[in-house]
Structure 1
Amino acid sequence: MSRKYSGDDYWKNYMENIFGIELIDKWDQYVTQDCILSNNRNINLEIYDSGDNTRPTLVFAHGIAGYARVLLPFLIPLREKGYNIIAPDLQGYGYNGGLKGDFDWDAHVQNLKDTVDYAKKRFTGKIILGGASMGGPLAYATATRYKNVDALACWCLWDFNDREFMLNETNTKQFTYLLIPIFKVLSNILGKMRLKTYTLVSYDTLSASKELNELIKDDPQAGTHITLKGALSLVLKSKPDIPHNEFTLPVLVLQPGDDRMTPVKYIEKTFNQLASKNKKYVKLKGCEHFPIEKEFYVRWAEEFDRFIKEL
């Protein structure tokens, strides 16, 4: 496997080896960067400005493994359909300073709230909040806490408080809840002690491409580590302020049909609970959690475009 790039340019390995080298040039063409103060830290924003401030804006969150620039396959097709996009590097990830993996759930919710506030100052159209993988539940939690967006659009949306999910889909499995008291004690003493994230959540199920999975594990900007405090917060702080059966905003959910990381049954359970009258669920047959095939990103952009135009 070729790893031509390192350091801050490591992300280019994904594009050159997997998603298409043309995405590097498109990032140069479309993206500007800014930073904002959030949770008393500076966080990096990647901004795709369409040139039309009245167009809808998507604020899109990465998941537990990635960071904003890894989302290029998701975001470039939307920018080319004329949408404004802001993708933040959440605390402890990407091109932010500080210790990698040092975050908790509420800090990430605050990051998304502050990014939405930034979007509203810069753009005047509708604000759609969304995310991929863990970014989906984070976007939902932010929308319920602050009620500051017009719609939700997610690539995977499930309930972190689903006991079946925590017992079956994490590496700690049946020991997950038994470990909580131990994690509480350790986090009070060694809160910034870090674990390899993929000791808790398997990165081998990210995609069908072993090359992609291994690239993520070695990426200096990615979610390779997590503090004990951060890991504990995913279990104890992730319960949303409003349950799914009381949520009424428009919601679009795309779910990979062959997802091994967040399997279909958890996403469908959450989607069916949503009280939204305007909601749409699309299952993508043959698609992995983080697909390498361009066709799925094209479909994502088409479904997003159709849904937003019908709002």
Structure 2
Amino acid sequence: MKYSGEDFWKNYMENWFGAELISKWSEYATEETIISNNRKLHIEIYDADNPNSPTLIFAHGIAGYARLLLPFLIPLREKGYNIIAPDLQGFGYSEGLKGDFEWDVHLQNLSDTINYAKQRFSGKVILGGASMGGPLAYATAARFGGIDALACWCLWDFSDKEFMLNETNTKNFTYLLIPVFRILGSVMGNFRLKTYTLVSYDTLSDSSEMNSLVKEDPQAGTHISLKGAASLVTQSKPDIPHHDFKLPVLVVQPGSDRMTPVKYTKKTFSKLGSEKKRYIELAGAEHFPTNNQFYKKWTEEFDHFACSL
């Protein structure tokens, strides 16, 4: 491990995604802070120098933070898209205790980022996310609106009991533990668990070394508060059912995803009421691939989708 502290993210780039992404981040990205939920929210902005170009707001998942998304974002910046990637509350370089969040707080974070994007840029706004960022993006669009389209890397329904019972470490105890988490959370405040005691990080990528590294990353989702864990079940039902959602949607799903298996995304996608929707499955891709060919395909599909809006 070459890098530590605030530079920890560079380990992933040098070992798996390409060291050139470090210099490209320095060239393209600017860091700013907005206020959301009365806290400072760190956002990273990739300005394509054309305010009329579409803007992608892209949310990270439960294990990551904005800067880990460079393989998704840098190629899109080079295609001419404006991009904003927030560190959701409890993650990355945003203010506050790591893992201290709730589902509804993250929806507000994304809504506030959308509002910021509209002040800074004038083109169409596409909201998206990777991993848990996908369901968060959908839930934000359902609650707040204000966007032109949705583009997700994985999109499943967190309120799907089959998913919660089969794909979490707590399995059949998941729903039995919710009232326990609620009570303990109200009594013990921000008491935190290791996130990977509830959600396995061993299936995050095809590299066991990288999966282990995420568990040591001081900016990553290594911890989750009890109230945060409870909120993933109690607050995650979308305000608009999927069959009533009408905006254009792009969903790219890793075909060999063991963390959020294909069947859950297919189930959710089939329910979407959008007339304009596209599903792409990438054969052989893990949840967070280490092979850059899959990010090239993501870039191609996003570009095709955005140009069709």
- TM-score, normalized by length of structure 2? 0.99
**3-state SS in 2 of match to 1:207:** coil
Following superposition, the deviation at residue 237 of structure 1 comes to: 0.2
Per the alignment, residue 4 of structure 1 pairs with 2
Greater mean deviation of Cα atoms: 120-129 or 207-216? 207-216
How is 1:99-110 mapped onto 2 (pairs within 5 angstroms)? 99-110=97-108
Question: Is the contact made by 2:42 and 2:95 (CA closer than 8 Å) also made in structure 1?
Answer: no
Matched residue type, 1:113: S
Q: Deviations over 1:203-261 (max 9, x none)?
A: 00101101110111100000000000100000000011000010000000000000000
Q: Deviations over 1:94-118 (max 9, x none)?
A: 0112210000001100000000000
Q: Measure the CA separation in 2 of the matches of 1:181 and 1:107.
A: 20
Per the alignment, residue 187 of structure 2 pairs with 189
Q: Measure the CA separation in 2 of the matches of 1:179 and 1:193.
A: 15
Matched residue type, 1:87: A
* Counterpart pick for 1:29 among 15, 27, 30: 27
Size of the aligned set, in residue pairs, is 309
Q: Deviations over 1:268-295 (max 9, x none)?
A: 0000000000000000000000000000
**3-state SS in 2 of match to 1:177:** helix
* Counterpart pick for 2:254 among 239, 248, 256: 256
Q: Measure the CA separation in 1 of the matches of 2:296 and 2:98.
A: 32
How is 1:1-311 mapped onto 2 (pairs within 5 angstroms)? 3-311=1-309
Following superposition, the deviation at residue 198 of structure 1 comes to: 0.2
Q: Measure the CA separation in 1 of the matches of 2:17 and 2:209.
A: 12
**3-state SS in 2 of match to 1:153:** strand
The root-mean-square deviation of aligned C-alpha atoms, in Å, is: 0.5
Q: Measure the CA separation in 1 of the matches of 2:65 and 2:240.
A: 27
**3-state SS in 1 of match to 2:215:** helix
- TM-score, normalized by length of structure 1? 0.99
Matched residue type, 1:131: G
Where in structure 1 do 4 or more consecutive aligned residues deviate above 4 Å?
A: none
- Structure 1: where are the runs of 5+ without partners? none
Q: Measure the CA separation in 2 of the matches of 1:55 and 1:174.
A: 47
Q: Measure the CA separation in 2 of the matches of 1:121 and 1:230.
A: 30
Matched residue type, 1:221: Q
| Identity rate, percent | 70
**3-state SS in 1 of match to 2:175:** coil
Matched residue type, 2:216: D
Q: Measure the CA separation in 2 of the matches of 1:188 and 1:92.
A: 18
Matched residue type, 1:283: E
